Structures are given as structure tokens and as C-alpha cells.
Amino acid sequence: METKIVKQDGITEVVQLLKQGEIVAFPTETVYGLAANALDETAVDKIFKAKERPQDNPLNVLVGRKEMLYSLAIDVPDYVNLLIDAFSPGPITYVLKNAHKVATNITGDLLTIGLRIPDHPIALNILQQSDLPLAAPSANTSGSPSPTTVDHVIHDLRGKIAAIVDGGQTNVGLESTVVDCTGEIPLILRSGVINQEAIKNVVGDCHIAQELATPSSKYKHYTPEVPLILVHSKDQLLKMIKKEQAKNNRIGIIVPKTSNEIEADQVYLLGENKSESARNLYSVLRAINKRDVDIVISLSFESDIVMDRLQQAATKVLDASDNIS
């Protein structure tokens, strides 16, 4: 299949393709999504095939407006309205009791459905023009990092989907917070930039689920081709570099900015503030390559969410008390 790559002016055509049962990728503020008409089971099935996604990992659904979100769920607790007013459109997915109006293969056996209103002009434009709910997981092959640039989507899905809308690099760079809103107190299943504190501030309380929170948690997280060691301090980084250099290993480092004190074969820059590091993380993880390096050592970063995703990608995580000899 030939994959059309269009810009913003190709949106009308993309909406036509969605209505015809094709699948297309477009940017949201978090990561690129791969979308299908959520009412069309055959179209939804194409997402699972293109992504090679296990059938028991439910897809979340994007909607363009609050009324549609409410129409796809039942028994929605009152606090959800507060969360929507505070955070939507935005990087938060609400898990609610499913009204079973969308194709059954979206949620598999689950009685719940994940719904989100994205905050991106292209995504909102497509949702509004089509007036459809769109099943839309991240537009990557299962097991690789979520795509934050059009090149990532092209790399994973070219030839397998009808079109890609090029909207440049996504602004947030990490996936939405997934919050289970079926109970009395919201429960965070997947962390994101909208954190526990932000939710507490709006509704008074919020819990964080322990392990195996989302159905996807049982699948292996992305790890780069070479070992990735996450260190706690610059001192540990310098010692690790020495140790690996002694073994003649080619070393990559993930750091906020370049520094004269640190020598490495590859320097992967994440940027100096929280939002920059979040935006750049997945491009860096995708760039790590065994042709260039034998091992990568990453400094710790200020952003909790960047740390969460780095910990998942790391082969080893050092804490402050670990000595390197």
C-alpha cells in the first residue's frame, strides 16, 4: 500500500480516508496517533495488524468534544466533569464504564473504555470534520518508542497505512496520563505530565496504581539495542565512563547539555528543562544504535515522567548509594 504523506492542507482528504475505513496517522500534542473510525470494526482491525499489537491490549479513543465523550460512557462519576474542565482538551485519558457503542475489538473483553480529547489543531480538526470517535493508539510498531516526529511514523508504518499527516515534532513528547475513573477516587494507571498532585488539586484525592496497571503493562517495555545504565549523579557517570573505557567499549551518554568534563563517543542531548527533556526523549531512544555505541549511560533528569520512561528503558538503575569500582 502506498502511504500518502500530507500536510495540514490534506486534512479533508484524510477525513475521507477515515470515513472509507482506512487508517491514518496524525499528530496529537503527546505523540502521533494511528487512527481508525471507532465505529468500524474492520477499520479498527487494521490498526492491530499495522502495529502488530496484541488483541488483548485495548485501544483508547479520541473524541473532539465533551458531549461525545459522555455519549460513549455510562455511570460517569461527577468528578470527571471537574477533570475535563481542568485538563481537556489535553494529555489525559479517562478510563470509564463502556457504553458499548464503539466496535467491540477496541476494548476486547474489558467493560471499560479509554477516552481522550487531544489538544492539537490537526487532531481536533480531523475529529471535528469527521464527527467520529477515532480509535487511536500511538502510531508506532508495538514494542518501539511512541513516535514524536513524522520520520518515526514513516520508519514504523510506511506502506502499512493509507496516510500520515505531517505536523512536525509533537509538543509534549510523552504519552497521556491514563486515569481510571470508574471508582470513587481517580486512579492513575499510566503516569504522564498531568500528575497525581495536579489531579488532587482538582478533585481532592487521587491514587496511583501499583504494578500491572494498564493491560499493556504485561508486555515488555522498549529497551534500546545496547545496555542502558541510568545513573544517579555526575560522579557516577564519570566513574562508569572510565570503567567502560577500560573495557574498550564505545560509550554513549544521555545528558541535558554538552560539557567539557565528560568525554564520550556519542552524546545524546535531552535539553535542560523538564518539557524539553520530555519532548526529546523518544527521539534519543530511537537514535541509540549498536553501530555507534556498545553501551549508553544516562544521567538522571528532573522530570518525573522522563525518569519513569528512562527507568522502563534501562537495563540497570543505580541509586545514590551505589559505588562503582
136 binds ligand TXA (CB under 6 A): yes
Site for ligand TXA in 21-60 (CB under 6 A): 28, 30-31, 33, 57-60
148 binds ligand TXA (CB under 6 A): no
Among 28, 88, 107, 138, binds Mg ion (CB under 5 A): 138
Tell me which residue has cell 496504581: 209
- What are the cell numbers at 127? 475529529
Q: What is the DSSP letter of 309?
A: H
142 binds ligand TXA (CB under 6 A): no
37 binds Mg ion (CB under 5 A): no
CB of 79 to ligand TXA, least distance (A): 18
191 binds Mg ion (CB under 5 A): no
Mind giving me the DSSP string for 247-282?
Answer: TT--EEEEESS--TT---SEEEE--SSHHHHHHHHH
Q: How far apart are CA 30 and CA 27, in angstroms?
A: 8
Strand 61-62, strand 112-116: pairing: parallel
Residue 206, contacted partner among ligand TXA, Mg ion, none, CB below 5-8 A by kind: none
CA nearest to 315, candidates 255, 230, 220: 230
Q: How far apart are CA 85 and CA 100, in angstroms?
A: 24
> In this chain, which stretch among 6-14, 208-216, 227-235, 284-292 interacts with ligand TXA, using CB under 6 A?
208-216
CB of 167 to ligand TXA, least distance (A): 12
Q: Is 147 helix (H, G, I), strand (E, B) or coil?
A: coil
Q: Is 304 helix (H, G, I), strand (E, B) or coil?
A: helix
CA nearest to 152, candidates 272, 284, 314: 284
- What are the cell numbers at 69? 465523550
Pair 125, 12: CB distance under 8 Å: no
DSSP H or E segment with residue 189:
strand 187-190
Site string for ligand TXA, 69-108 (x = CB under 6 A): ----------------------x-x-x-----------x-
CB of 198 to ligand TXA, least distance (A): 16
Count of residues near ligand TXA by CB under 6 A = 30
CB of 81 to ligand TXA, least distance (A): 19
Residue 116, contacted partner among Mg ion, ligand TXA, none, CB below 5-8 A by kind: ligand TXA
CB of 142 to Mg ion, least distance (A): 7
Tell me which residue has cell 485538563: 87
Among 112, 129, 141, 169, binds ligand TXA (CB under 6 A): 112
Binding site for Mg ion (CB under 5 A): 138
Binding site for ligand TXA (CB under 6 A): 28, 30-31, 33, 57-60, 91, 93, 95, 107, 110, 112-114, 116, 118, 136-138, 146, 175-176, 178, 189-190, 214-216
